[in-house]
Amino acid sequence: MKQAAVADMTSGPIFRKIVAFALPVMLSGILQQLYNAADVIVIGQLVGSSALAAVGATSSLINMVINLFVGLSIGTSIHVANAVGAQNRERTSLLVHASVAISLLCGVIVTVIGLFGSRTFLTWMDTPSDIIDMSVLYMQIYFCGSLFSMFFNFGAAILRAAGNSRSPFVYLAVSGVANVVLNYIFVAFFHMGVAGVATATVVSQAISAFLVLGNLLRLRDACQLFPSRIRLYPRQSLDIFLTGLPAGLQSIIFALSNTIIQSAVNSFDDTITIAGNTAAGNLEGFVYTAMNAFHVSTVTIVGQNVGAGRYERIHRVLFESLLLVTGVGIALGLLVYTFGPALLSIYLPNEPEAIPAGMERATVVMLSYFLCGIMETLVGAIRGMGSTVPPMIVSVACVCGVRLGWIYTVFASYRSMTVLFLSYPLSWIAACLGHIVLYFIFRRRLIRHAAEHSAAAAQPIPAPQ
């Protein structure tokens, strides 16, 4: 049966629309995080701490490579949302097909990078010699699924920009269950170790990609996909690249700073410490997905309202999103901190000595994670208004600058895990302050330009002489 994807975000109660849109995105992100969580839990319980550390040592590096290209999907989100809000069917269709072409190209590039660069990158990160071979194997298999991962992320961006956040959630639910089942089968029955969990992830990503493909093919509106029309349309592709590339660069620089933090953790040359840090970092991933859901919803809702010329709704969207993300961030942070030892023991059933190392990280990061949510939501509002370069500059300067400066000064003098992880909340505070200033600058500029355009349009056409 054919279906429509477009949902109107330009009228009606804002709070209810934010919740209705953000909740499936949040659940989708949690399910995506379950990919890695299932890997980590199965490895930790059935193989051991060395294999767990091997998988954990790859996480920041994988995110750094993947996020550069997935960041381009932000360009898809912004431009498709604007086109949908403006009810421009032709531009929407061109953007959809250009986005799919970009996703396929990015998938090929990431696969090549992963296959041929994994060992070199892990060596640069000072990955311990006793786990590097397993880490390389995990990464190479993982990157073989990049084509599916990229297609899903761009396809989901199209659906969400049109207001449909439920379908990606359903598809991830299906693929998430498949991932958990396949993880257990490959590791427990076929004894494939890290290769098994990586293979399960690739198969699961393929399932989600084909489900999104089927949805796009069945649509009956401007977002419908026609395979024969997939190509890099110059204007639309350039728009997506110019808008999405700053977001991708921001993501990769964030991941780079996290990779440096991972290298600092690796420098303790203690497998138990790395394993505890891996488990705690995986728990953080669940909270981050909740925070990121409000970034995605803010980009989409602000973007549609900008396309429709409903500028008066922008401030309300941001205000109510900030209230929601702060409340959710504080609640989830306290929850994870309170039940931290029990949650970490799921990942580390046979390594209780690694739990204190995980809690050392959780104590600092989890209790301040709502600051990350505020930062992400502010960035979402600015991007939804069509500005991507300035928030990238502010984010890089504040987040990465603070973290790297902290590592090479304070942490270098006072080497402890607690001191290392204090770089996270300090960087989020600096970024929030910078983005607040940016938001008011660009909102005022957007309203002024709209007023000038309206005044120019109202001018009478002079009579011919």
- Torsion over CA of 436, 440, 442 and 447, rounded to 10 degrees? 160
* pLDDT value of residue 324: 94
Q: Let me know if residue 4 belongs to a domain.
A: no
Q: Let me know if residue 410 belongs to a domain.
A: yes
**114, two tokens:** 């992963």
* pLDDT value of residue 453: 61
Which residue range forms the structural domain that includes residue 217?
14-451
* pLDDT value of residue 22: 86
Position 145: which residue type? G
* pLDDT value of residue 1: 43
Q: Let me know if residue 464 belongs to a domain.
A: no
* pLDDT value of residue 151: 94
* pLDDT value of residue 458: 53
Q: Let me know if residue 46 belongs to a domain.
A: yes
Q: Let me know if residue 120 belongs to a domain.
A: yes
For 229-273, write each residue's pLDDT tens digit: 999 999 999 999 888 888 777 777 776 777 777 777 777 766 777
Separation in Å, CA 73 to CA 82, 158, 306, 416 = 14, 9, 19, 37
Annotate 55-109 with three-state secondary structure. Answer: HHHHHHHHHHHHHHHHCCHHHHHHHHHHHHHCCCHHHHHHHHHHHHHHHHHHHHH
* pLDDT value of residue 382: 92
Q: What is the distance, to the nearest Å, from the Cα of residue 313 to the centroid of all Cα atoms in its chain?
A: 25
Residue 465, class by beta-carbon neighbours within 10 Å (0-12 exposed, 13-18 middle, 19+ buried)?
Answer: exposed
* pLDDT value of residue 381: 92
Burial letters 304-317, b for 16+ CB under 10 A, else e:
bbbbbebbebbeeb
* pLDDT value of residue 35: 64
Q: Residue 219 in 3-state DSSP?
A: strand
Number of helices (H) and strands (E), helices first, in the chain?
A: 19, 0
Q: Let me know if residue 404 belongs to a domain.
A: yes
Q: Let me know if residue 19 belongs to a domain.
A: yes
Q: What is the distance, to the nearest Å, from the Cα of residue 106 to the centroid of all Cα atoms in its chain?
A: 16
Q: Let me know if residue 458 belongs to a domain.
A: no
Split into its structural domains, the chain has a count of 1
Q: Residue 134 in 3-state DSSP?
A: helix
* pLDDT value of residue 2: 47
Query: Which residue positions in the chain have pLDDT lower than 70?
Result: 1-8, 34-39, 60, 255, 269-270, 450-465
For 445-463, write each residue's pLDDT tens digit: 887 776 666 555 555 555 5
Whole-prediction pTM value?
0.75
For 415-431, write each residue's pLDDT tens digit: 888 898 899 999 999 99
